[in-house]
Amino acid sequence: MTQLSKYLFGLFTSVSFMVPIETFAQDIPIEAPVEITNPTVKKNRIIRKVEAVPYWVDADQLRIRDNPVAGDVIGMLELGQKIKAYEQFENWIRISKAKSNAKWVNTDYLTNTPITWARYGNNSVRRTQRRAGLGEDVNLTRIKVKGSKSSRIYAASVKKSANGNRVIVTRQNFRSGPYFEKRLVACTDTNATHVQMLGEGYTYMMMENDVRGLTVDINADMPKLEISANAVLSPATIAVANFSCEADV
C-alpha cells in the first residue's frame, strides 16, 4: 500500500458513521397506565317500618306465653285489653317487640274491634264462669318440674289412645280460679318424644271446644313438637309430657 493509500485509509476509519440515537428518537409522550378501581355505587338503604296491628282480648282472661304453641304462662290479659301484634306464627301472635322478652297469645281469643263487658250485657254469670271447673278433684297428682319448686301443676287425667299416644289434662290454680290444659303426647317406653297443645280454658267445656283440638285425631296424628335438646320447650311442658308417659294407663 502506498503512503497515500495508508493516509486515506486511516482518515476513513477514524471518522465515526454512527448516527446518534437522539436523531431518531422523538419526544413522544407516553401516558402513565390508568388504574381502574371498582366504582363506588351509593345504595339507598330501605328501612321498612312495620306497623303493629291492634287487637282486643275477646275472653274473660287470656294467657300470655313465652313461646307459641306450648310455652310457659308468664302473664294474663283481661277482657277488652288492647294489644298489638308484631309477628305471627300460625294462630299465635307476638305482642312484644323484637328486642324485648317474647310474649305470645292465641289469636282465637282476639278480635279486631274494641270490646268491653257491655258487649255481653255486663253478664255477671260470664264473669264468674271461669271459676267453675274441677274444684273438688280428688285424683289430682302434682307434677314435679325440674328446677322449679314453686310450680303447681297437677295431672287431672291421663288417657291412652289406640296408637299409644297419651292425652293428659293438667290443672293450675290462679286467683281467678282453676285453669286447664290438654296435651297430646307421643311416648317411647317411658320417655316423651313429641307434644302438642290441644286445648286450654277455665272449664272443661272451654278446653274441649278449643279449635286446636277439634281438628286433631288423637288415634292417628303425631304431635307436632319434638322433645329434644334443641327444642324450644319449657321445663313445665317437658315435665307434663314425661309424666303422661310414665303414668300407668
pTM above 0.95, yes or no: no
Residues 146 and 225 in one domain: yes
More confident residue, 156 or 118: 156
Contacts (Cβ under 8 Å, ≥6 apart) of 195 = 70, 183, 184, 185, 186, 223, 225, 227, 233, 237, 238, 240, 241
Report the alpha-carbon distance of residue 71 to residue 128 in Å, rounded.
26
pLDDT tens sequence across 10-24: 655 555 445 454 544
- As a whole-number percent, the residues of the chain with pLDDT over 70 amount to 69
Residue ending a domain, choose from 78, 97, 129: 129
pLDDT tens-digit series, residues 21-76: 454 445 555 555 555 555 555 555 544 444 688 888 888 788 899 988 778 889 88
Mean pLDDT of 128-152: 66
pLDDT band at 119 (very low <50, low <70, confident <90, very high): very low
Residue partners of 105: CB distance under 8 A and separation at least 6: 62, 63, 64, 65, 77, 83, 92, 93, 95
Q: Distance from first CA to last CA of the chain, Å, rounded?
A: 139
- Does a structural domain hold residue 158? yes
Where a domain ends, among 104, 129, 154? 129
Look at 104 and 111; give whichever has higher pLDDT.
Answer: 104
- The answer to whether residue 86 scores a pLDDT higher than 80 is yes
Comparing 127 with 168, which gets the higher pLDDT? 168
C-alpha grid cell, residue 118: 257491655
Secondary element (H or E) of residue 89: strand 87-89
pLDDT at 13: 56
Can you give the residue range of the structural domain that contains 240?
A: 141-246
Residues 116 and 147 both lie in one domain: no
| Whether 147 and 228 share a structural domain | yes
C-alpha cell at 244: 303422661
pLDDT(151) > 50: yes
Write the single-letter amino acid at 181: E
Same domain, 122 and 211: no
Q: Model confidence at 169, in pLDDT bands (50, 70, 90)?
A: very high
pLDDT at residue 179, as a whole number? 84
Average pLDDT, the chain: 76
Whether residues 97 and 178 fall in one domain = no
Classify residue 106: in a domain, yes or no: yes
Contact of 93 with 107, CB cutoff 8 Å: yes
In this predicted structure, the answer to whether residue 137 has a pLDDT above a threshold of 60 is no
Residue 125 has a pLDDT of: 41
Q: What is the band of 220 on the pLDDT scale with cuts at 50, 70, 90?
A: confident
How many folded domains does the chain comprise?
A: 2
* CATH number, residue 113: 2.30.30.40
